[in-house]
Structure 1
């Protein structure tokens, strides 16, 4: 028998044989635990490319007890937030998989579900400080064993975002990066920097806001703060309480889905630095010359590539819009329209692009646009998807006041300019010169379409 194993080893070459380990999993609790309350216990689950689907709990004191924890590699901490039902986050496995697909690193899931599972949110907030102290001690141990603070990336979701800030402050901002995914607002809005996340907590802090009028934080907290769809109501989320629990959590949870989309690169979302969402929609913030040659910042995991440009600016607000569901990314065009009506016309525009088999649409209705004779009106149009070739354009014009008499909008020229493909001259402009005017129909709007020459 011994000869058999010797012969097999000779054929296969050197083989590392590991003793099978039982996987450690995220703490599963339920609503009962949340009602009676839970005491804090912090568990650190290690995932690497060698144990992608099998978490291993780390000792807080004996780091060498888990040989797969390699301190020479970058380490990413994932810190969840408030868990009012006690259930594990449904995005957990996805973010672990996507992070390890991006790089060879240690992914540490900070499981503080015993503490976060409590219907008493105020009690959970006090546990956030204790959780931060626990992580601080662990990272000091990492330092003592040769780890570099610069190689640490902390991703905090909701209440977890402030936990990462508390940890970062303990290290005087020397941690490499903090990513805050819709940081919690209740009990943190209006607080001073030492009582919440702020830009000094890491060498680079990036933040996304999706629910700032409810569960999220409203004001900027990082070197760059992304405001998806203005940072409040997200497309596709319920608008009334009649929709049930989704009405309360959809906007807040959208931040996680957007961040996952940036990780797996299903969406390359360009964001535009601006002072307000209204100015962004008005097309006043499309110039990103200060970020040449990289161009406008890309939302999500890859924003680190803009670090050297953003940190000197201290705090930058950036805006983008999304679709209702994945893929969330939209495509931006300038739309320049020249009309020849004698009187100024006011209204809203919906544009459809056709390529034969597909159609994509952009509605510009955040405010009424004015169209003056022989004057070019420039609008920002954000389409649901990016069509590689456009054969036809359809436009719907809606009047501001439905009770006024019908009128004509006479269009002389329409030009579309792709904002993200300026280096491709063949695709940069779609120009439609019109020789006829456009008439309103029996309805409150009209359609027209033209084929490209």
Structure 2
């Protein structure tokens, strides 16, 4: 039957033979792509002994890793030590499942650069319900990584080309490796470094800004699982470093209630790789100062452009030369979902009222197609003095090239007492996210308390003021 079929359809025979040969080779060699260890809750219940896989990916083997563990690097098929070497190190795994972001970060990094990516899989050792057991394994993982880097150096690698991205406990592992080389490795990025068991520890026992030539850190859960104080050359505190927009605020959110804020640091880093929009951060002493617009310009600090979050944060390195110590805190707000961008504006208001007024301004902007967005930044009350400019800091989830309508609402938030009004001589809307955009103005109008006032703005340069 098969013989007659092959006679009638010769290509069928060729395909069958090719498939048989390919299957036979795979069966004979027993080769399969090494994969990240996939465990489950029962493994966490009984605990796991440390076992590390070092999974190498390059553009030549992007979908099938090469396991460097226990291998003589001279026999590696894909490792090229003349290129940048990026280590991605995960953290504590209480349920044993692989990190949901692991493939995305690998693919995004390879899309950016032709590099070596080594996924440090220490899931066996990180999977346990007893958190201190995982903490104690961090030093052991760091020792394994040092041995690998030593071998790479012997084969021609440079410490300058080593870049470590560590998540939670992985951030401290990266720090331990950096200490072993006296801070001479190229860069460390800490994504919400773990706080429990590390808060209050000396720099020798945690990630520190001296652990690499450049250390950048994103803090997203400083009131729970993350580390509160600065650890790097530049420390980013999105939304103040605590409650992240879009994350559950109650336990009704299930497991996301516990991990969403902590995990947001990774997704912000991924967003910086995708570059679908620009996330602007502002060097500042505190989140409150940032929200009140006291730091919403990098011009005064002579640090243009403002520091970039995530993958391109190392461009800030040039601004640290004269700083002692070379450390900076930067704050910004984000939206509640990818790509997480917030678009920053200043609304400058000059009033005529003889008596000073204290209050809040709610700001909305709209475009010609009917899209409307409202400022999500809640700053302190502004004080409006006669003929003096008051600056209101605003941040929107959407940005419009052409703002067709602005809506302002003045409020003192007093429940009792008289209602006030503001006589506005000039209002100016200026974009901080796009400084080249025209400033938009409106002149001589009244804001009644708790009443929305909408108007069409005009470019400021068209009026002689």
Question: What TM-score results when the alignment is normalised by the length of structure 2?
Answer: 0.88
More deviation in 127-136 or 382-391? 382-391
Relative to structure 1, the CA distance from residue 181 to residue 312 in structure 2 (aligned partners, 3 Å threshold; closer, same or farther) is farther
Matched residue, 1:438: 447
Relative to structure 1, the CA distance from residue 168 to residue 364 in structure 2 (aligned partners, 3 Å threshold; closer, same or farther) is closer
Alpha-carbon distance in 2 for matches of 1:365, 1:262 = 25
Shift of 1:347: 2.2
Alpha-carbon distance in 2 for matches of 1:56, 1:410 = 69
Matched residue, 1:14: none
Q: Deviations over 1:223-265 (max 9, x none)?
A: 0000111111111212222322222111101111111000111
Matched residue, 2:249: 239
Relative to structure 1, the CA distance from residue 308 to residue 177 in structure 2 (aligned partners, 3 Å threshold; closer, same or farther) is same
Alpha-carbon distance in 2 for matches of 1:399, 1:131 = 56
Matched residue, 1:352: 364
Relative to structure 1, the CA distance from residue 399 to residue 430 in structure 2 (aligned partners, 3 Å threshold; closer, same or farther) is same
Relative to structure 1, the CA distance from residue 261 to residue 284 in structure 2 (aligned partners, 3 Å threshold; closer, same or farther) is same
Q: Deviations over 1:200-220 (max 9, x none)?
A: 110110000000010000111
**Out of 346, 355, 373, which is 1:334 matched to?**
346
Matched residue, 1:395: 408
Alpha-carbon distance in 1 for matches of 2:121, 2:377 = 44
Matches within 5 A, 1:114-263: 114-263=124-273
Is the 1:333–1:380 contact (alpha carbons within 8 Å) kept by the matching residues of 2? yes
Alpha-carbon distance in 2 for matches of 1:408, 1:364 = 23
Structure 1 counterpart SS, 2:408: strand
Matched residue, 2:463: none
Shift of 1:68: 0.7
Is the 1:291–1:309 contact (alpha carbons within 8 Å) kept by the matching residues of 2? no
Is the 1:61–1:141 contact (alpha carbons within 8 Å) kept by the matching residues of 2? no
What's the RMSD between the two structures over aligned residues?
A: 1.7
Alpha-carbon distance in 2 for matches of 1:137, 1:248 = 35
Structure 2 counterpart SS, 1:269: coil
Shift of 1:364: 4.5
- The answer to whether the aligner puts 1:385 opposite 2:398 as a matched pair is yes
Alpha-carbon distance in 2 for matches of 1:107, 1:365 = 41
Structure 1 counterpart SS, 2:379: strand
Matched residue, 2:278: 268
Relative to structure 1, the CA distance from residue 132 to residue 290 in structure 2 (aligned partners, 3 Å threshold; closer, same or farther) is farther
Alpha-carbon distance in 1 for matches of 2:342, 2:157 = 40
Matches within 5 A, 1:66-77: 66-77=76-87
Matched residue, 2:55: 45
**Out of 375, 379, 393, which is 1:362 matched to?**
375
Matched residue, 2:452: 447
Alpha-carbon distance in 1 for matches of 2:63, 2:374 = 40
Structure 2 counterpart SS, 1:201: coil
Q: Deviations over 1:292-347 (max 9, x none)?
A: 57411111101112212225421110111101111211111111012223433222
Alpha-carbon distance in 2 for matches of 1:292, 1:102 = 29
- The answer to whether the aligner puts 1:321 opposite 2:333 as a matched pair is yes
Structure 2 counterpart SS, 1:410: strand
Relative to structure 1, the CA distance from residue 312 to residue 108 in structure 2 (aligned partners, 3 Å threshold; closer, same or farther) is farther
Shift of 1:429: 0.8
Shift of 1:58: 1.2
Question: What TM-score results when the alignment is normalised by the length of structure 1?
Answer: 0.91
Alpha-carbon distance in 2 for matches of 1:311, 1:190 = 27
Relative to structure 1, the CA distance from residue 32 to residue 364 in structure 2 (aligned partners, 3 Å threshold; closer, same or farther) is closer
Moved over 6 A (4+): none
Alpha-carbon distance in 2 for matches of 1:232, 1:297 = 20
Stretches of structure 1 that go unaligned for 5 or more consecutive residues are 1-18
Alpha-carbon distance in 2 for matches of 1:61, 1:140 = 14
Is the 2:52–2:69 contact (alpha carbons within 8 Å) kept by the matching residues of 1? no
- The answer to whether the aligner puts 1:283 opposite 2:288 as a matched pair is no
Matched residue, 2:117: 107
**Out of 57, 73, 85, which is 2:95 matched to?**
85
Matched residue, 2:431: 418
